[in-house]
Structure 1
Amino acid sequence: MTQISILGCGWLGWPLAKKLIKEGHSVNGSTTSENKLPSLEASGIKAFLVALESEYVSNSITNFLAESEILIIDIPPKLREKSASLPTPSERIFVRKMENLIPFIEKSTVKKVLFVSSTAVYGNENATITEDTHPNPETESGKQLLLAEALLQKNQNFAATILRFGGLIGEDRHPVKFLAGKENLENPDAPINLIHQNDCIAIIEAILNQAKWNEVFNAVAPFHPTREEYYTQKAKEYNLNPPKFRTENSNIQKIISSKKMESVLNYQFRPDNY
């Protein structure tokens, strides 16, 4: 049994924690909502109210990390998009949060960190993207995620693995529900780069079980139909009005490759999730 701390028991962190507990691990889980604490505890999670801000970290962070060997960081940047230029130090809100967190990790028993990042660090390049592709983020959140990755990777006090997820989908979360009935949508023949919640959890389990540390993995299902094909079909499956796309060809032909992860972890995606 391994004691694991999950910073951010939200859409992914909560079901991940429940799965890890089912596999015999002990899990500390954090939330920023006091009302959520009883539900987390009822799931078998030792729950902590943790506020990680750009100015401070709540005192509960010490107990949250205590005696854990592994820390999983799964908190989104949640930033307003700014200009395409790199953020000034005063704008690096998410990065400052990581800078505040790291000293507490260094003082704790944590020796391994898994950071949930995003393929947004690559930007919109018309190519097949691998882990060797130089990141070129265009959004503010992508830029700050990349800076946060670097902070964790260069730290000598723990081993850090970076997991870059594509667009997140699940039984209760699918972009077609937002796109249904909309018209004049762009990029009809751009490929999708999605990953299902079930695969997210299974991949994290594989990293933990196989002790794949000091790595960077892209995690996107190897199924890349066009946006128009995919969302038209999904609208039918959900009994929704299909979205309508523009007729011109797309400028974006980015495909995120997960071949490294499939090879190193021997992981196989489940097509029925998509």
Structure 2
Amino acid sequence: MQRNITLCGCGWLGNYLLPVLADDFQVLGTTRSPHRAEQIKKNGGAVYLFELGDNPSELCQQSENATVILNIPPGRHHQEFNTYSQQMCSLIDAFMAHHARHLIFISTTSVYGEKERIVTENSELIPQTGSAKSHCTIEAYAKQRAGDAATIVRLAGLVGPDRHPVTSLSGKQLSQANRVVNLVHIHDVVIALKRVVEQGAASKTLHLCSLVHPTRKDYYTQCAMKMALPLPIFDEDQKEVKGKQIDASASWEYLGLTPKYASPFDMII
């Protein structure tokens, strides 16, 4: 088994993922923040200070023949998305020039847009936001450049012990009461990504999402009640259940895993 992993981007997700990988692999974690560098060391990884757009030559030399996990999100400003795509594609080129054995790109289910439908790993991509369009571009380039060594992992909305969407929605007037939610818990993401690494290079596109999809009104109302937060107030302008529903059953089966947090109701803090 290949023992070298380069985790490009050690933000919120990476902070949970790195210590689990470090139990069994030698992990090189990148960050642009000296403060986060100390956390990477505490989690068992080696550190390389790197910001997207920097010259990647030395980083890639240290990552020769490694499994590379690309976990660098785009910025929040629309004018940055084209630059983000170009820089990510250049980074992929650099890693592949140094013989990356497995390229894992952390993408998003927003690449499917908001068209009402059940979405599988083979559904049509209909990106609507700048971020989603960038992710589509990078996904396609990773597949072209890395071929059978490229694995795309599309994440639903992330939830964790210190992160839940209801904290920003409580007490607010909200629409789309009957739109379904697509969420995944960080625990299940970490276990799944470790399994992807263990299984090795494979030309696969995977979904990581819970198996149950309650409506926004039902879910966030119950979350607020259980967490003793002000209830969100939903407009009653939509009667039927709407929105895309991410079907991740085939991906969980491929990984040989059953998510611990199979329902978003299991994720309520």
| TM-score normalised to structure 2 length | 0.91
Residues 66-120 of structure 1 deviation map (CA, whole Å, 9 limit, x = unaligned) = 4x520001111123247xxxxxxx9512211112212321232421111000001
Letter in 2 for 1:273: M
1:253 match:
243
SS of the counterpart of 1:38? helix
Residues 24-81 of structure 1 deviation map (CA, whole Å, 9 limit, x = unaligned) = 211000001122222211221101101112xx43554235424x52000111112324
Say yes or no: does 1:273 pair with 2:267: yes
1:3 match:
4
Cα 1:155/1:140, change in 2 over 3 Å:
same
How far the C-alpha of 1:248 sits from its partner, in A, is 1.2
1:1-274 alignment, distance < 5 Å: 2-22=3-23, 24-53=24-53, 56-58=54-56, 60-66=58-64, 68-81=65-78, 92-156=82-146, 159-183=149-173, 185-211=174-200, 213-249=202-238, 252-271=242-261, 272-273=266-267
Cα 1:174/1:199, change in 2 over 3 Å:
same
Cα 1:46/1:166, change in 2 over 3 Å:
same
Structure 2, unaligned runs of 5 or more? none
Cα 1:164/1:200, change in 2 over 3 Å:
same
SS of the counterpart of 2:12? coil
> Is the contact between residue 195 and residue 221 of structure 1 (CA under 8 Å) also seen in structure 2?
yes
SS of the counterpart of 1:268? coil
Partner Cα distance (1:165, 1:173) in 2: 15
- Seq. identity, %: 29
Partner Cα distance (1:158, 1:20) in 2: 23
Partner Cα distance (1:143, 1:70) in 2: 25
SS of the counterpart of 2:111? helix
Which is richer in helix?
A: 2
Partner Cα distance (2:99, 2:72) in 1: 21
Partner Cα distance (2:11, 2:103) in 1: 18
Cα 1:3/1:228, change in 2 over 3 Å:
same
Cα 1:58/1:108, change in 2 over 3 Å:
closer
Partner Cα distance (1:229, 1:176) in 2: 12
How far the C-alpha of 1:212 sits from its partner, in A, is 5.8
Cα 1:156/1:189, change in 2 over 3 Å:
closer
How far the C-alpha of 1:156 sits from its partner, in A, is 4.4
How far the C-alpha of 1:157 sits from its partner, in A, is 6.8
Partner Cα distance (2:109, 2:81) in 1: 21
